[in-house]
Structure 1
Amino acid sequence: MAHKMVKIEDLNFNPFTLIGKEWMLITAGNINSFNTMTASWGSLGYIWERPVAFCVIRPQRFTRKFVEENEFFTLSFLGREYRSTLEICGKYSGKDVNKVEMAKLTPKEDEEFKTVFFDEANLVLICKKIYFQDIIPENFLDKSIDNFYTAKDYHRMFIGEIVKVLKREE
């Protein structure tokens, strides 16, 4: 299906449901070399006079290398009917298997920014990296948060300026 560019101001959704309950795919790279992962932690907002997306990636995730090495990343939001697809992309590593093929996803490359998203997505946010920060336990004001890191594999947070929004055409 085709996607059309829309203004971010025209979007209407609940980010807590969209990210935390329905999940998203974080993808980086070009059509010849990319990786994707499922995420249910992240944020959307406004900082430094621009719309942004925050995503966090643990060091052992193969996708992190692609986000680190590329200027852009995408957040693809699929419908509820793709829950098993999202589970596959969260369970398997692109280092070991072709999870995009396993999940029966159709990668597409944005012509303008040369970054990858998925045809099955209802909504795609194309983000230009503008900041990163490693999560460090010394900064947890609520020490119970460290319970999420039993392996001490603290996330790296990436902030991306949302430079393009694509919506599936109905």
Structure 2
Amino acid sequence: MRKNEEPMFKTYNTLEQATHAQPRVTALLACQNNLMPTSWHMPISKAPFRYAVAVREENYTHQLIEENKSFTLNFLPSEHFETVNLMGKLHGDINDKLAQSNLEVENVDRFKNVLLNASDFIYECEVCDTYKNGDHTIFIADVVKIHVNDKQSDKPMLFSGRGRYGTVGETFTLSKRSIL
């Protein structure tokens, strides 16, 4: 530590105590007509294309995924942040979240999971494995179809925790280097 200065970092023991922003792309996970915001997700394999999402065991969505073994991930542009936030406050076993979202359904997949019209892109996912860890289950899924909106936004929705949403301010495109 530098002399006569406050420490640069505050240290916390739990995520609930910490106040940091960790921007991550968010999506609406749809299992049947139930919508749940998710930002704890990531691609885990390119071939086959597999995706992992972490869902808290106490969530109604967890029960639905275990029963249906499938879901869609609807990646919405940042303009829908208030709707996504509302979906996180409602309980799917009590509320019709799809109706309250005011989002239009483009179609449904073969498992009857909704494909939302406002999405920039959608992954249709079929669960192939699960891993329970802590208070979440990680559902690993094969992405069986990818739907890309021709009018895809350049403002993906980012979630930073505690009700904070944003989008990218500037993007950069680099050319791929050729390997000798």
- Scaled by the length of structure 1, the TM-score of the pair is 0.69
Partner Cα distance (2:115, 2:54) in 1: 18
Higher alpha-carbon Rg: 2
* Matched ranges for 1:137-152 at <5 A: none
The answer to whether the aligner puts 1:38 opposite 2:19 as a matched pair is: no
* In 1: Cα distance, 2:108 partner to 2:93 partner: 23
Determine helix, strand or coil for the equivalent of 2:102: coil
Letter in 1 for 2:81: R
User: What is the aligned partner in structure 1 of residue 146 from structure 2?
Assistant: 165
Cα separation, 2, equivalents of 1:115 and 1:94: 14
Letter of the structure 2 residue corresponding to residue 57 of structure 1: V
- Following superposition, the deviation at residue 115 of structure 1 comes to 2.6
Instruction: For 1:94-109, list aligned pairs within 5 A.
Output: 94-109=92-107
Q: Does the residue aligned with 1:126 lie in a helix, a strand or coil?
A: strand
Letter in 2 for 1:156: T
- Alpha-carbon distance in structure 1 between the residues aligned to 2:140 and 2:24: 21
Percent of matched pairs sharing the same residue: 24
Q: Per-residue displacement from partner, 1:85-134 (whole Å, max 9, x unpaired)?
A: 11011111112222222221123443545432211111100011100011
Indicate conservation of the 8 Å contact 1:106/1:119, yes or no: yes
Counterpart among 64, 75, 78 of residue 76 in structure 2:
78
CA distance in 2, matches of 1:71, 1:89: 21
Structure 2: give runs of 5+ residues left out of the alignment.
Answer: 1-22, 152-180
Pairwise CA distance, 1:26:
1.1
Task: Indicate yes or no: 2:120 matched with 1:117.
Answer: no
Give the C-alpha shift of residue 169 in structure 1: 2.6
- Deviation string 1:123-152 (CA, Å, 9 cap, x unpaired) is 10001110001104xxxxxxxxxxxxxxxx
2:108 & 2:59 partners in 1: Cα distance?
Answer: 24
SS at match of 2:45: strand
User: How many angstroms apart in 2 are the aligned matches of 1:155 and 1:72?
Assistant: 17
CA distance in 2, matches of 1:46, 1:61: 26
Task: Specify the SS of the correspondent of 1:102.
Answer: helix
SS of structure 1 residue aligned to 2:119: coil
Partner in structure 1 of residue 29 of structure 2? 26
Match of 1:54 in 2: 52
CA contact (8 A) 2:68 2:111 kept: no
Instruction: Provide the aligned length of Structure 1 versus Structure 2.
Output: 129
SS at match of 2:92: coil
Amino acid at match of 1:162: V
Aligned CA distance change for structure 1 residues 99 and 115 (closer, same or farther; 3 Å): closer
Q: Distance in 2 between matches of 1:63 and 1:36?
A: 8
